Amino acid sequence: MYIIPAIDIIDGKCVRLTQGDYAQKTVYNENPLEVAKQFEAAGIKRLHLVDLDGAKASHIVNHKVLQSIAGNTSLQVDFGGGIKTDADIEKAFASGAHQITAGSIAVKSKETVVRWLQQYGVEKIILGADVKGESIAISGWQDDSGINLFTFLEEYVALGVQYVICTDIAKDGLLQGSSIGLYKLILQRFPDLKLIASGGVTSVSELIELRDAGLYGAIVGKAFYEGKISLEELSSF
């Protein structure tokens, strides 16, 4: 299982939100590149980079942070937040993204994501499934789409999607554990999916549980920044 640290960006700074609430923001580092280099030095290979300003603005805002990290580390960066148009996805890949995460756009404009899958290939597009209960949330988690998670996944798996990041918003940023039950249900339905857990990861034992459940990857954010899981522990997977 891949351990994928998260860097969330607001105003060019490394932050974390609690349950996607922009009013509950903690700034952890003013220099995201510095944080990324720590991950690289520990032997970590991947990074989940989220443009929270972009998610709110509905277009990429912090592409220069992506450019800086991709250009100065060997990390494979998956980038999300505000990717809505062909110009956005072109800018993301031109700035050094290894993959992009299609979140709200996958709900609002399926034809766009289908075109991207065809144009860039299924290896380059991660489906972002952000859920409250079993309903997909969009627009930086501000809105409920009313679409059922399993219906959403079924449609996209049929279109060839291989990678999915599933975030349980109720768990995110609370350090109370991830939704392992939900992930097991998803993998029962879609056993070939490269499913990446996101939200609530708190301990190494939980990472082991996720790995044993067949998860492809696990995103770790607040647990690292709050010192619950060390860099050494992350790099041991």
- Average per-residue pLDDT in the chain? 91
Catalytic residue among 8, 51, 53, 168: 8
Contact 194, 216 (CB under 8 A): yes
Residue 18, pLDDT above cutoff 80: no
Structure tokens at 8: 């969330």
Selection from 169, 228, 175 nearest residue 201 by Cα:
175
Instruction: Name the more confident of 103 and 41.
Output: 41
Predicted confidence at residue 49, as pLDDT, reads: 97
Measure the CA–CA gap between 117 and 225, rounded to whole angstroms: 34
Predicted confidence at residue 170, as pLDDT, reads: 65
192 catalytically annotated: no
8 catalytically annotated: yes
What is 107-134 written as a DSSP string?
HH-HHHHHHHHHHH-TTTEEEEEEEETT
Contact 18, 24 (CB under 8 A): yes
Selection from 65, 168, 160 nearest residue 113 by Cα:
160
Predicted confidence at residue 142, as pLDDT, reads: 58
Q: At what angle do helices 180-189 and 204-212 cross, to 10 degrees?
A: 10
Residues sharing a CB contact under 8 Å with residue 192, sequence separation 6 or more, in sequence order: 162
Predicted confidence at residue 171, as pLDDT, reads: 59
Total domain count, the chain: 1
Lowest mean pLDDT among 67-71, 105-109, 207-211: 105-109
Residue 134, pLDDT above cutoff 90: no
**What is the per-residue pLDDT across 148-180, written as a single tens digit (0 to 9) for each?**
999 999 999 999 999 999 988 765 555 567 889
Contact 135, 145 (CB under 8 A): yes
Q: What percent of the chain has pLDDT over 70?
A: 93
Residue 173: helix, strand or coil by DSSP? coil
Selection from 150, 163, 213, 187 nearest residue 48 by Cα:
163
Q: Which domain holds residue 161?
A: 2-235
In CATH, what number is assigned to the domain containing residue 37? Answer: 3.20.20.70
Measure the CA–CA gap between 180 and 78, rounded to whole angstroms: 22
**What is the per-residue pLDDT across 63-101, written as a single tens digit (0 to 9) for each?**
999 999 999 999 999 999 989 999 999 999 999 999 999
**Phi then psi dihedrals of residue 144, to 5 deg:** -95, 125
Measure the CA–CA gap between 223 and 203, rounded to whole angstroms: 7
Instruction: Name the more confident of 237 and 217.
Output: 217
**Phi then psi dihedrals of residue 12, to 5 deg:** 75, 5
Q: What is the CA radius of gyration of the chain?
A: 16
Predicted confidence at residue 174, as pLDDT, reads: 52
User: Residue 48, Cβ neighbours under 10 Å: how many?
Assistant: 23
**What is the per-residue pLDDT across 32-59, written as a single tens digit (0 to 9) for each?**
999 999 999 999 999 999 999 998 898 9
Selection from 75, 68, 9, 71 nearest residue 42 by Cα:
75
Predicted confidence at residue 145, as pLDDT, reads: 64
Catalytic residue among 51, 53, 78, 130: 130
Residue 114, pLDDT above cutoff 90: yes
